[in-house]
Amino acid sequence: MAAPTFPDPGFLDHDDLRIIRALQVAPREGFAALGAVLGVSEVTVARRYRRLREAGVLRVVGVVETTALGESEWLIRVQCRPDGTPAIAEALAAREDVSWVSINAAGSEVTCSLRSRSQQEREHLLVEMLPRVSMVLNLQASVVMHTFTTECSHEWPAVQRALTPAEVAALRPATEPASAATAARRQKDDDSILQALAVDGRASHTDIGKAAGITPARAARRVRALLDCGLVHLYVELSRATLGYTTRADLWLQVEPAAVRTVGAALATMPEVAFAAATSGVHNMHAAVNCASLDDLFGFVTDRIGTLKGVQAIETSPVLRQLKQFNTLMTRDLLAKPRALH
């Protein structure tokens, strides 16, 4: 498969940003309803959405809430011999239980997030597989104890400002949520539905029904119930570089225990922070950040993070290459071509 061509500067115009923001607010809303709020035709919204998706700029994805399933999330740092780093990173990115993968630290470290379905699966990777790879020099694993960031829309100020408050409100009609107790009772078709939403968060109820072997009506009811109870969240995944965020880094913080909650809450409000969590280990907080340049990253770390009360030390690990984010494979800073629903 040919590698995607990176869009020319100016690929995104104001109408694109408005559509992206509308999808962030209402990820599964129909094109006609989106167009009615945005003041453009259904055909225009559909055409622009497909253009952005095919170009590797945008994808709506369903992300499962691991704690709701009784699972845990682990952040793993694998120190490698530089000549073995790409192979290890690609092998991790191919795993379904690994949601994001990057190559950091001048090409000698792979950082990834592992969704631990069971202790056996986690130990198989961390205790049996990776330590036996000759190219692996060291391995650190920390469990995520609390996540502070709850949504991604605030990461992109230009996108967030694309709609007026009235337009946002129009895309958020009041709905009667499903019973959390009813939705929380796992049903045999749920795994297939969640897998379909992970591939395409805007998949039709007909396509989801085919993937799960159920009727479109039943698919619609279960999708609504799973969303309402918070078992799965829909995100608009974006190519950060297309939006001008070409410098990414993982920050590993040492924070006074009494200050972890206040520091985490502060991080969650910063547009540069895509993910912030309290973790186990010497570095008891982690943040993934996006900046426009190395100079912006320097200012962000020293002037914004470094001045937070309780922050004792910061390790900055620049991202050289992102291979996967939100379960989506990356190619040259673009989202890889989406696969078809099974």
Distance CA 267, CA 128 (A): 35
The residue ranges of DSSP E strands in 117-173, in sequence order, are 136-147
Strand, helix or coil at 281?
coil
Q: List helix spans (H) across the chain.
A: 14-25, 31-38, 42-54, 85-93, 119-123, 157-160, 165-170, 180-184, 190-199, 205-212, 216-228, 260-268, 294-299
Q: Identify the bridge partners of residue 143 per DSSP, sorted by sequence position.
A: 74
Q: Identify the bridge partners of residue 72 per DSSP, sorted by sequence position.
A: 116
Predicted pLDDT at 116: 75
Distance CA 3, CA 9 (A): 18
Q: Report the relative pairing of strands 98-104 and 136-147 from DSSP bridges.
A: unpaired
The candidate with the shortest Cα–Cα distance to 319, out of 134, 104, 111, 139, is 104
- The pTM of the full predicted model, rounded to 2 decimals, is 0.83
Cβ neighbours of residue 173 closer than 8 Å, sequence gap 6 or more: none
Point out the least confidently predicted range of 82-86, 161-165, 170-174, 314-318.
Answer: 170-174
Mean pLDDT of 40-45: 96
Q: Identify the bridge partners of residue 252 per DSSP, sorted by sequence position.
A: 286, 315
The tens digit of pLDDT for each residue in 219-261 reads 999 999 999 888 888 989 899 888 888 899 999 999 999 999 9
Predicted pLDDT at 320: 93
Q: What is the DSSP string of 55-71?
A: TTSEEEEEEE-GGGGT-
Cβ neighbours of residue 132 closer than 8 Å, sequence gap 6 or more: none
Distances (CA, A) of 329 to 98, 174, 182, 211, 338: 11, 35, 34, 21, 9
The tens digit of pLDDT for each residue in 139-193 reads 999 999 999 987 654 557 778 889 999 999 999 866 555 544 445 566 788 889 9
- The H-or-E segment that residue 276 falls in is strand 273-279
The tens digit of pLDDT for each residue in 266-310 reads 999 998 998 999 999 999 999 999 999 999 999 999 999 999 999
All structural domains of the chain, each given as residue ranges with its CATH number in brackets, are 179-228 (1.10.10)
The candidate with the shortest Cα–Cα distance to 156, out of 316, 325, 18, 276, is 18
Chain mean pLDDT for the chain: 88
